[in-house]
């Protein structure tokens, strides 16, 4: 199966490319480096010892992306090419709606035109909004509270309508929980530009003395220690979930949604303490006000992915913390 990986130089995309190549998939990668770095392409080749074609293309550019379809015999695609910072989406909604929606529409139109109607879409647990119940199952109520999350929900609806219009489509919608960590080689990892929005990259920068201290956004939630609880999943486990979704699409068409999480929730303070213990580093922090839009607790019921895809996570929280730090140490 030759898979078009749209956004393959990004954090999740690059780890997925490594897993696919290591499992004898043929891939073609497109990326415009708007939220990734060109050297990642060579790092993927270095890790796997495999070669593949890369095209520097903006997925919103239908003419440019169609050139790739003309040159490559694509069997299916994974769409990673979305902006993903919640706060930025509130400040710049048009940028988010334009990029995230148009890239998905362009890709689906070309997959349809070239008769390769198989897509794995990178969605997010953020589509559940304030959880109806915990752990979250795929049939839980959907609601979004920011433009980033709304783009994900809109694309889910587009894909649902697409499947209703033509059952020849094979569509897997993967709802990520909180991906963290890095490949064991230390060659690829999470490398956000500027001040990180997310917890783990922020902790890493504090441990690396690039930032003075971590602000813990609230300790008065109704959770085990008052701080926010999330389902952190190792990026390599998440990457493998995409391979399993492709295996399913190779066998059958259909429209399916899957939670990709560990099923366990960890608090901010648990993350800080685990990171310090595993890596023998200090992470000074200060309790601050809650962050607007945050929910108290969110973690997955990943039973459906286990039963239908054979998805089960292999990495522990300690592995996630150690690999995130290893990436920094290896790239100082």
Burial class (CB in 10 A: 0-12, 13-18, 19+), 130: exposed
| Closest by CA position to 124, among listed 96, 95, 164, 91 | 96
Provide CB contacts within 8 A for 24, sequence distance 6+: none
Residue 206 to residue 282: CA distance in whole angstroms: 8
Helix (H, G, I), strand (E, B) or coil at 61: coil
| Closest by CA position to 17, among listed 57, 59, 51, 56 | 51
Closer residue to ligand WQD (CB): 54 or 315: 315
Among 79, 183, 230, 234, binds ligand WQD (CB under 6 A): 230
> Shortest gap between Cβ of 2 and ligand WQD (angstroms)?
26
Residue with CB nearest ligand WQD?
A: 228
Measured in Å, how far apart are the chain's first and last C-alpha atoms?
A: 37
Got the DSSP string for 135-177?
SB-TTS----SSHHHHHHHHHHHHHHHHHHH-TT-EEEEEEE-
* Interacting positions 244-273 with ligand WQD (CB under 6 A): 268
Closer residue to ligand WQD (CB): 176 or 311: 176
Among 83, 121, 176, 257, binds ligand WQD (CB under 6 A): 176
Residue 92 to residue 188: CA distance in whole angstroms: 28
* Binding letters toward ligand WQD, positions 182-221, x by CB under 6 A: ---------------xxx--x-----------xxxx----
Strand partners, 121: 79, 173
Residue with tokens 């140490």: 329
Q: Is 324 in the site for ligand WQD (CB under 6 A)?
A: no
Got the DSSP string for 196-218?
-SSHHHHHHHHHTTSSS-EEEE-
Among 100, 126, 259, 323, binds ligand WQD (CB under 6 A): 126
* Annotation marks residue 148 as catalytic: yes
> Shortest gap between Cβ of 318 and ligand WQD (angstroms)?
18
Q: Is 100 in the site for ligand WQD (CB under 6 A)?
A: no
Among candidate residues 83, 96, 148, 299, the one labeled active-site is: 148
Closer residue to ligand WQD (CB): 192 or 254: 192
Among 3, 5, 57, 86, binds ligand WQD (CB under 6 A): 86
* Binding letters toward ligand WQD, positions 280-309, x by CB under 6 A: -----------x--x---------------
Closer residue to ligand WQD (CB): 294 or 319: 294
* Interacting positions 6-45 with ligand WQD (CB under 6 A): none
> Residue 112 is encoded by which pair of tokens?
């349809």
Closer residue to ligand WQD (CB): 114 or 217: 217
Catalytic residues: 148
Interface positions with ligand WQD (CB under 6 A): 84, 86, 124, 126, 176, 178, 197-199, 202, 214-217, 228, 230, 268, 291, 294
């Amino acid at each position: 199966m030759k898979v078009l990986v749209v956004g393959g130089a990004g954090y999740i995309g690059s780890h997925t490319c490594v897993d696919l190549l290591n499992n004898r998939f043929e891939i073609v990668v497109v990326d415009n480096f708007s939220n990734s770095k060109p050297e990642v392409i060579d790092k993927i080749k270095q890790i796997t010892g495999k070669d593949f074609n890369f095209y520097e293309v903006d997925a919103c550019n239908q003419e440019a992306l169609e050139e790739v379809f003309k040159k490559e015999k694509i069997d299916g695609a994974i769409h990673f090419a979305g902006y993903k910072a919640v706060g930025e989406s509130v400040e710049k909604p048009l940028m988010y709606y334009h990029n995230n929606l148009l890239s998905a529409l362009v890709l689906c139109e070309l997959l349809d035109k070239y008769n390769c109607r198989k897509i794995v879409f990178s969605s997010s647990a953020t589509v559940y909004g304030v959880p109806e119940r915990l752990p979250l199952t795929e049939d839980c109520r959907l609601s979004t509270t920011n433009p980033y999350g709304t783009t994900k929900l809109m694309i889910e609806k587009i894909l649902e309508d697409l499947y209703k219009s033509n059952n020849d489509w094979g569509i897997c919608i993967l709802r990520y929980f909180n991906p963290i960590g890095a490949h064991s080689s230390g060659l690829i990892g999470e490398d956000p530009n500027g001040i990180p929005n997310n917890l783990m990259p922020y902790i890493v920068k504090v441990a690396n003395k690039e930032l003075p201290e971590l602000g813990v956004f609230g300790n008065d939630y109704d959770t085990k220690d008052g701080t926010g609880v999330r389902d952190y999943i190792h990026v390599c486990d998440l990457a493998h979930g995409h391979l399993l979704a492709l295996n399913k699409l190779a066998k059958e068409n259909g429209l399916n949604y899957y939670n990709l999480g560990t099923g366990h929730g960890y608090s901010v303070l648990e993350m800080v303490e685990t990171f310090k213990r595993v890596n023998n580093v200090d992470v000074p922090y200060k309790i601050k006000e809650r962050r607007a839009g945050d929910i108290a607790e969110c973690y997955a019921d990943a039973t459906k992915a286990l039963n239908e895809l054979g998805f089960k996570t292999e990495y522990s929280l300690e592995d996630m913390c150690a690999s995130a730090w290893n990436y920094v140490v290896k790239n100082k």
